[in-house]
Structure 1
């Protein structure tokens, strides 16, 4: 009997030591893990999340293994219990001046990214409580998305419910621009085709704005008449800052005509930004008087290199330029597909800094201001 008790006592002590060791290792593991933030900043969704020719959210055929990225998405590890993971996405809304403008929001992660994003453009929809003061959604209240179909050529076909037709003629182009720019933020979407209750639209239903087979960013946004109407001109989209009701700055894209026979189109674009927006546009000019390029812009390996005179600096002693100026340049110039990033130098200045004293050691990409992902 004494041997049995001794053996049992030895086993209990051994088990206690083992459990203590496991507990210690577990605590060390927790200490070593950097817990991610609750929000997921999506740089790129899986390329197969929406296969060309497949309806968004469509399940694989019976017996067929799901493609990579088609598996049901689980909440991110960083999401707290009871909370859904989110991703940053742009919504093109109407501002207080009636301009179509991009605003970035945290939207819930979902397998139906395009459908969800469009649902946040509907008046009285889920975006309502998220809207900054002075901004509004563009799609008529009650509009639903019947289906979305991705074509191999990069066209995204969207089928809306009949409520889509219930808008004022003055908002027709704004609705078309909002849908197009919101969906073409996704890298593999080139243009958008529209259906209502399964019927293709070659023109908008109220005022007859032509759509053709599809609508793209090449058709422009917030069109401005600058008096250039020559055949050899082209449309360019420039970004200028505006100020919200609460004083928060935001970028407004406007499309205007520019002579396309210029020796250097990039120089023409930068000069247009330096000249600033029209006086009656409620937009601001971010460049100081006297700002100018000191040499022609050059493009190498996707990076557009710019050199300005010192008048471009907001603080000469600190070699700083305003964050708004950099954003205006990058957003405007990367509208060109071949421009992936912008490098800004100042003549006679070794290194340029932002408003917070951080050096622009690398070229600045569009992704530093807007989310980038694929459907």
Structure 2
């Protein structure tokens, strides 16, 4: 697989349209910048019951009040062995809860396996049932009670199971931690490799963990980056990886530097930036992070690949407590005339 997919395209204008970033549709869906996205549809979040536009925040799912259809983002295993967010459409029954339905759709070979896009499978062990699911809004804690089949998995998959559950459920607006139970009894560790469950799971567990070359574990810090991959049908999608890097005082700049460095040599992922791009600064201010890039090869009348811009937005917002990003190139804001929010949904692939 190519390490980079970078094509400089001639364009009629220097302004890049960022399709699907604020329309509640997934990145890399069937729509492109050729069409203007429709106004956002007002949706209701099942977990909180609060009305909101589906253009803000990062959520596991929302319900379209007009159609009753639910859009939810779950973390599935791709054909290369990576966990990736995939946005699925489904409906909820009268008593079904959003978080529980998301987990049920993540069961390997489960009732919803035929609704998953080609090349993706569930990571929760086959035959697992969700016996119970509750959310405490006060504690922002989701508690999941799995059946005994949850213990029937290969030890090598243990961390991925933990990561997928944690990242899926913490995508819900009222969930920041996850507690696991087995047939009514709290789990204090995972059954095979004893991954500790003595405190609630959250996104600090990382995802698709990897280590940069020459890193001292004792002096490392994690950054989460978004690279690209392709389905067997050739559809592109984003994959997050948590990479351990040398300790630094500027985590945000380091995250973009690592995007430029690209996937590790043994990776199956595709880079979205090339080494000729330089990061001049990454400045957080007033809930917006401004990323200042320098690209000497950039000429007026060209546009930088939209894939690069969206990967920057996803990576920066994953590593900072903010949802808006402004990107400048060679001191100009023609890439983005105003800050862009993190997308509500990622990877709305064909199923």
TM-score by structure 2 length? 0.77
Unaligned 5+ segments in structure 1 are: 1-36, 50-73, 80-84, 353-359
Corresponding residue number in structure 1 for 2:171: 185
Corresponding residue number in structure 2 for 1:215: 201
Corresponding residue number in structure 2 for 1:169: 155
Q: 1:229 to 1:289 in 2, by over 3 A?
A: closer
Unaligned 5+ segments in structure 2 are: 1-37, 51-62
2:245 matched to 1:258?
yes
2:338 matched to 1:362?
yes
2:318 matched to 1:335?
yes
Partner SS for 1:283 = coil
1:42-94 deviations in whole A, cap 9, x for unaligned?
A: 47556357xxxxxxxxxxxxxxxxxxxxxxxx9843x3xxxxx2122111011
1:90-111 deviations in whole A, cap 9, x for unaligned?
A: 1101111111111111121455
Structure 1 residue 310, shift from structure 2 partner: 3.0
Equivalent of residue 108 in structure 1, options 60, 68, 91: 91
Partner SS for 1:278 = coil
Counterpart-to-counterpart distance in 2, 1:347 and 1:182: 37
Higher relative contact order (CA 8 A, sep 6+): 2
Counterpart-to-counterpart distance in 1, 2:115 and 2:293: 39
Partner SS for 1:292 = strand
Q: 1:48 to 1:349 in 2, by over 3 A?
A: closer
Please identify which structure carries the higher strand content: 2
Partner SS for 1:343 = strand
Structural RMSD (CA): 2.6
CA contact (8 A) 1:341 1:365 kept: yes
Equivalent of residue 136 in structure 1, options 106, 121, 130: 121
Please show how residues 265-276 of structure 1 align to structure 2 within 5 Å: 265-276=251-262
Q: 1:209 to 1:350 in 2, by over 3 A?
A: closer
Partner SS for 1:254 = strand
Counterpart-to-counterpart distance in 2, 1:323 and 1:237: 20
Corresponding residue number in structure 2 for 1:279: 265
Corresponding residue number in structure 2 for 1:238: 225
CA contact (8 A) 2:104 2:110 kept: yes
Aligned length: 294
Structure 1 residue 319, shift from structure 2 partner: 4.0
Q: Highest Rg: 1 or 2? A: 1
CA contact (8 A) 2:64 2:70 kept: no
Q: 1:175 to 1:318 in 2, by over 3 A?
A: same
For structure 1, which segment, 241-250 or 221-230, has the greater mean C-alpha deviation from structure 2 after superposition? 221-230
